[in-house]
Amino acid sequence: MLTDPAFIRRLDSLYLLARRVLGGSLQADRRTSKKGTGITFADYAEYSFGADYRSIDWRVYARFESLVVKLFELEEDATIYILLDCSQSMESKFLYARQLAAALGYIALNSLDRLAVHGMGDRLVPLLDPCRGRGKALPFLRALDEAQTFSGDTRFNNCGRVFQARHDRRGIVIVISDFLFPAGFEEGLKFLQYHKHEVYCLQVQDDNDTRCDWKGDLDLHCVETDQHQRITVSPREAKMYEQAVVDWNDRLQRYCSKRGIGLASTSPDLPFETVIQEILRRGGLVA
Amino acid sequence: MTALSPIYFWAFLSLIPLIGIYFLKVRPHRKSTTAYFLWEKIFQEKRTSSLFRRLRDVLSLLLMLLAFSAVVLALTNPQSTSDDRKDALILIDHSASMNATEQGTTRLARAKDIASEIVQAFNGTQRAAVATVAHDLVYRSHLTDNPRQLLDAIEEVDATDFAMRSELITNSFNEAAGRGDHRIILISDGCFGAADLPEGVELFKVGESQENVGIVAADARYLPGEVGQLAIYFQVASSHEEPVQAELLVSRLDDEGGSELLRLVPLDIQPGVNKSQVYKIENAEPGRWQIALDVEDALRADNVAYLAVERPRPVRVAVKSDDRFFFENSVVAFSGGGGLLQLTDQRPQIVLAKSTTPQAERSLIFQPQGESPFWSELGEELEEVAPRLLIEDHPALRFVDAMSMPFVGARRLKAPEGAQVWVASDEGVPLIYRTTAAGRTAIVVNMDPVAAEFYFSAWFPVLVHSTATHLAGREESLQATYPPNRVVTIPGLTTDTAVEVVDPQGEAQQTDGKSLRLRDLGFYETSNESGDWRIACSLLSSKDTMLDNAEVEDSSKPISRGWLPAQLLTMLAIVVLTGESLLYQRRKVG
């Protein structure tokens, strides 16, 4: 249960750790590249027509007879989007994936960031509408707790498009999935990046995904599409499958590295706190 | 092709449940995967093997059907009609000629090799028996398909110095070979006259004609009337096409194994069997003699003849009768010449008596009278006697016409229990019989020789001689040498009891009664109460010496080799089942 007091205490511990690791309050301290109307001086810029007269630095004008305006860093609350893979392929690691989502979402809500959670499958299902504030933590956890996997193939690219249609506000998109998408992951990630989201991939795979101990004649069944096929698995085929998974994951890693997308791979064998701590120690959800 | 056990064709019904089992398909284990698309990629690359995978089940059924069919057909024990796989008797000739050496090996060794090859060719698929033939037919193994037993039996075949008795094969296999239900394979050099073999006997010919010389006849006798003059008679034969020069070594052997060369006779040996020759040697001592050809040829055994030289040993005979004249003359008549009888009162071996019972161990008694252990219930004379011969060809009467003897004065009497009655009257009264009582042996002649005027009959001295030598165990005089396998009666034995004989190898053996079968070349020695006796054995076989088998043709038929159809089918079934097991293994563990 994600709403257990014990689990929430574990999330609190992670939040405290996040504060210590990242320094200070996360509220409104999330720096962006945008310049705006904050109180922290950022830079000077030449005056241009239409600029706010109040921002002209008259002292500079007095000394250099040049009109410049002061720019201040825009301090804004970030929007955290969590796209949680709810396809049947996540069944064996769904609890773990939800724990990871809960940890990240809990930290975000406590940092007064906006948070929205969606479930991915053959369609995009909203699990938590955009909200902010610590008061939303419990509904958030309850929503995660009640989340179920649903049938259908994972259409990540399609879900990305639907997501963008619903949320045009840029934010940090955290994709929690095994990333074993038959149609590939490149198009979806590229689409999210294209719309100025900061994308972070959290890959969760267990032994069922990465290893093959099967032998002989089998009726192979796809957990998502119900397709099945009779095959004969020899050690050679088993080795080929394991190599195919390794190649697939390498492909994901290379793509993320190339596109500046943060990526962390984990398995349910590893406690989710450890994963979150590692993410925080690396400086947060950055590539 | 015929099936010896067609009943097993019913086993084809087992294919029905087999097909039923095939259609009861086993559903493979269902396995769920999260990366189905990756598996699809893998098996798209292996699309070439998918056809095999689809056909694998059908192939599996076909393999099982093939295996079952092969097993069923194997059970029916199919036989090719052209296949001559019959039970075989392997006859190995181990006669003297098989000891001839060719290219460093004997014919017998080559014959054993051929026999072993035949057994190995049978490969346990045919039954066979092993036997040897020479002077006798001896089965060395039972009819078996066990190659090990057959090879062991072949290995145990040993060489002999016996001449081949071809009539053994003719008599034993003439009928059996004609039936054709089994093979009789004779492995021989054919020097015994193999052209007369029964038609069904196959001859595996071993060896070719060899150049050889040998002694084919020999004898040695002291010349009558001469003192110590020994005449040695011999005959040689040669298979050479040209005359051969050789020397004959005449030696006397001492008891320690040494020899004294007494005569060296140059011989000009002509091809074939030569004329006999006689050489005389003065002052020759009795004992073990040897004549040998000083040649190196294919067969060594016939280069030597062993001769047992003995001075005449007469049977000592005494007379206890009022009518001594006729008895003594009958003994003296046979004391000259061969010196078979000797009239003497000193330690007589035989006592001739009339109307009395002498206290001698062996006696010939005419006209029984009074009390005697040799008869009882002595009664009145028989009026008319019609003699009847109860034992035909008895050695003691072989030279006597007992039916024409006048048994005048014969009296009713009863022979002791166990007596051997040779001649009796019509009424069953014993007329001539041999009996033993109280450790004494007597031949009783129930007649009055005076009344019958038997003293004037020619049968009287003959009867005295025959019965005396019979009582002394000396009916047959020993020859200087005998060929192998000859049965010799050991002289001086009056009872048919086993005695100890030292064979040419120096080993003591017990005889079967007083008969001795000669098996090895050399000298046999034995002793009994009549003295020491030597018996010599030499090859003396012209057929073996000539080693001529040029006209003998190999009549052997091909040996069926390899596997039986049933075995081949079983092997096929095993191979097919192995293939099916591989398919099963692939289904099970990939």
Question: What is residue B29's predicted lDDT score, i.e. its pLDDT?
Answer: 83
Closest-CA residue of A relative to B52 is: A232
Tell me: the pLDDT tens digits for A43-61? 788 888 877 788 888 888 8
pLDDT-derived band of residue A29, with 50, 70 and 90 as boundaries? very low
How near does any CA of chain A get to the CA of B41, in Å? 9
Residue B458 predicted with pLDDT over 90: no
Residue A38's pLDDT band, with cuts at 50, 70 and 90, is low
What is the Cα–Cα distance from A101 to A154, expressed in whole angstroms?
18
- Mean pLDDT over each residue of chain A, to the nearest integer: 83
Minimal C-alpha gap between A184 and chain B (Å): 10
Beta-sheet pairing, B341-343 with B362-366: unpaired
Interchain CB distance below 8 Å, A209 and B35: yes
- Average pLDDT on B553-569 reads 79
Residues of chain A with CATH 3.40.50.410: 5-24+77-281
Amino acid at A210: T
pLDDT of B293: 93
For B588, name the nearest residue in chain A, comparing CA atoms only: A216
Taking 70 as the threshold, does the pLDDT of residue A25 lie above it? no
Domain spans of chain B? 2-81+567-589, 87-210+547-563, 315-471
**Residues B265-320: tens digit of each pLDDT:** 999 999 999 999 998 998 888 899 999 999 888 898 899 999 999 887 888 899 98
CA angle B34, B39, B43 (to 5 degrees): 165
* Distance between CA atoms of residues B513 and A98, nearest Å: 114
- pLDDT for A31 equals 46
CA distance to B327, B356, B400, B415, B465, per residue, from B444 (Å): 15, 11, 15, 9, 14
- The residue whose two tokens read 């036989």 is B79
Surface-to-core class of residue B585, CB atoms within 10 Å of its CB (0-12 exposed, 13-18 middle, 19+ buried): exposed
Structure tokens at A24: 């200070």
Strand, coil or helix: what is B546?
A: helix
Give the pairing of strands A262-266 and A198-204.
Answer: parallel
**Chain B residues with CB-CB distance to A229 below 8 A:** 39-40, 43
Chain A within 8 Å of B47 (Cβ-Cβ)? Answer: no
Residue B100 identity (one-letter amino acid) = A
User: Does the structure show a pLDDT above 60 at B576?
Assistant: yes
Distance from CA of B63 to the nearest CA of A (A): 19
Closest-CA residue of B relative to A206 is B34
Q: What is the mean pLDDT of residues B530-558?
A: 86
Q: Which of A3-12, A189-198, B543-552 has the lowest mean pLDDT?
A: A3-12
**Integer angstrom CA distances of residue B440 from B53, B343, B355, B374:** 103, 21, 17, 9
pLDDT digits (tens, 9 = 90+) for A219-272: 899 988 888 888 888 888 899 999 999 999 999 999 999 998 989 999 999 888
pLDDT value, residue B308: 92
The yes-or-no verdict on residue A117 having pLDDT over 90 is yes
**Spacing of C-alpha B94 from chain mean position:** 10
Tell me how long chain B is: 590
- Of residues A216, A225, A235, nearest to B587 (C-beta): A216
d(CA A265, CA B87): 81
Beta carbons of B28 and A218 less than 8 Å apart = yes
Q: Which residues 6+ apart lie within 8 Å of B225 measured at CB?
A: none
Alpha helices in chain A (DSSP H): 5-22, 58-64, 94-110, 137-146, 156-166, 186-194, 207-210, 235-259, 272-281
pLDDT at B20 over 60: yes
Fold of A5-24+77-281: Rossmann fold (3.40.50)
Q: Is B43 on the interface with A (CB under 8 A)?
A: yes
Among B212-216, B318-322, B433-437, B555-559, name the one with the lowest average pLDDT: B555-559
Q: Looking at domain B315-471, what is its CATH homologous superfamily? A: Class I glutamine amidotransferase (GATase) domain (3.40.50.880)
Q: What pLDDT sits at residue B331?
A: 86
Which of the residues A156, A217, A233 would you substitute to probe the B interface, choosing the one with the greatest number of B C-beta atoms within 10 Å? A217
- Verify whether the Cβ–Cβ distance A217 to B38 is below 8 Å: no
Q: Which whole number is the average pLDDT over B69-82? A: 80
Report the amino acid identity of residue B441.
T
Find, among B413, B412, B400, B411, the residue nearest to B454 by Cα.
Answer: B400
What does the pLDDT look like over A156-185, one tens digit per residue? 999 999 998 888 788 889 999 999 998 899
- How close B64 gets to chain A, by Cα (Å)? 19
Per-chain mean pLDDT for chain B: 85
Mean pLDDT across the stretch B233-257?
90
Please determine, for residue B238, whether its predicted confidence score (pLDDT) is greater than 90. yes
The CA distance from B106 to B96, in Å, is 11
Q: What was the pLDDT predicted at A32? A: 46
- Distance CA(B301)–CA(B159), nearest Å, equals 12
Count of residues making up chain A: 287
**B87-210+547-563 and B315-471 agree in CATH topology:** yes
pLDDT band at A287 (very low <50, low <70, confident <90, very high): very low
Under a CB-based contact definition with an 8 Å cutoff, are residues B504 and B522 in contact? yes
Chain A: residue nearest B589 by CA? A216
d(CA B381, CA B446): 10
Specify whether the CB–CB gap between B211 and B240 falls below 8 A: yes
Token digits of residue A212: 């093959």
Q: Is the pLDDT of residue A22 over 70?
A: no
Q: Which CATH superfamily is domain B87-210+547-563 in?
A: von Willebrand factor, type A domain (3.40.50.410)
**Unique residue bearing structure tokens 């996997």:** A149
More confident residue, B15 or B496: B15
Cα(B443)–Cα(B433) distance, integer angstroms:
6
Beta partners for B315?
A: B341
> Among A281-285, B27-31, B313-317, whose mean pLDDT is lowest?
A281-285
pLDDT tens-digit profile of B394-410? 888 888 888 888 899 99
pLDDT digits (tens, 9 = 90+) for A50-107: 777 888 888 888 888 888 888 775 555 678 899 999 999 999 999 999 999 999 899 8
Q: Would the CB atoms of B42 and A241 count as touching at under 8 Å? A: yes
Q: What is the pLDDT of residue B25?
A: 65
Q: How far lies B359's CA from each of B135, B317, B400, B433, B530, in Å?
A: 46, 14, 27, 18, 19
Which stretch of DSSP H or E encloses residue A268?
none
Give the pLDDT confidence score for residue B186 in this predicted structure: 92
Q: Which of B576, B561, B560 is nearest to B74 (CA)?
A: B576
Of residues B55 and B150, which shows the higher confidence score? B150
- DSSP at B172: H
The CA distance from B453 to A283, in Å, is: 161
Interstrand relation of B259-269 and B244-253 (parallel, antiparallel or unpaired):
antiparallel
**Chain B partners within 8 Å of A230 (Cβ):** 28, 53
Q: What is the mean pLDDT of residues B581-590?
A: 73
Q: Which of B148, B92, B157, B140 is nearest to B124 (CA)?
A: B148
Dump pLDDT digits (tens) for B92-142.
Answer: 999 988 999 888 899 999 999 999 998 888 877 788 999 999 888 999 999
Minimal-distance CA residue of chain A relative to B33: A222
The confidence score (pLDDT) of residue B532 equals 85
Looking from the CA of B269 toward its CB, the CA atoms found within 13 Å total 29
**Amino acid identity, position B374:** F
